[in-house]
Amino acid sequence: MPTNRFLTVAFYKFVDLPDFEQRRLPLLELCERLHVKGLILLAREGINSTLAGAEAGIREVLEHLRADPAFADLQHKEAWATNPPFRRMKIRIKKEIVTMGVPDISPTKMAGTYVKPKDWNALISDPDVVLIDTRNDYEVELGTFKGAIDPNIGTFSELPSWVDHAQALEARTGKKPKVAMFCTGGIRCEKSTALMRAKGFDEVYHLEGGILKYLETISPEHSLWEGECFVFDERVSVGHGLLQTSRPLCRCCRQPLPDGATESPLYEEGVSCPRCINKTTEIQKNGARERQRQCELAKKRQTDHVGAKMPVAVDSP
């Protein structure tokens, strides 16, 4: 039995949900009753979520979801934390559970071929395979697979344009190359491989379960992963075995701090970092300063402070 208090689970499923808006309130009430916190995205195309809480509460939420025929085969990944990864419970209604902005892309019908973590090294070691990291630039900065191409995108919705102009994806001897794609948990790859197939790429593969499943199951001595993996919660980043690393987070833009950022004159704890200092107004910065002051007071009192929502300096992936 793990000694850590909080069980964190991540899951998603592409499935047609015509009644997705009506699902929000009952699910929110269940999570709040069980003191489960985190974020659930609901859209016509499915569900995407990361939740954390006491083990019994998390297991009950998963059991509730799988009792629904739409989620009967729902798969999840889990990890343990000593501190609560989330401070609130939110359920958001969205157009897409992962925003690409390309109509008529259906991962349930068009996604590429799944490759299990145990077979991933062999695939990406093939010199004929073009390996693409589909994540945002600040995620890639922390770590990626050896030999992967970084599209240098700020949000996932920029990937389609990059694909249209990438020299690495140009046809060779009249044939489009084999492509392998990966992301944190697998959801962005389902859409990105569906996009590639829609663009005429026949041999498209993606890492089943994403980087997190790879780090969970592949030992460091057999790994082709280099660095850390950013996660969108208070853990910030994890390594092999999904062990939490010590990477700090900017409380304004919610992105990991680059090495040396805290020594920069552009860094102010809870207010700004070199990435986002020019992306918020002075009014927003003053609001963040007050929130940081309240957080520090709460810490001294050994109480939690949730406070007002922080300004969002960049788009969420």
Active-site residue numbers?
A: 183
Tokens of 102: 């390309």
Q: What are phi and psi of 61, to 5 degrees?
A: -65, -45
Tokens of 20: 């997705």
Beta strand pairing status for 46-53 and 37-43? antiparallel
Whole-angstrom distance, CA of residue 12 vs CA of residue 28: 17
Say which residues have a Cβ less than 8 Å from residue 127's Cβ, sequence separation at least 6.
Answer: none
Whole-angstrom distance, CA of residue 135 vs CA of residue 130: 15
Tokens of 241: 């075995």
Tokens of 165: 């102009």
Judged on CB neighbours under 10 Å (0-12, 13-18, 19+), 251 is: middle
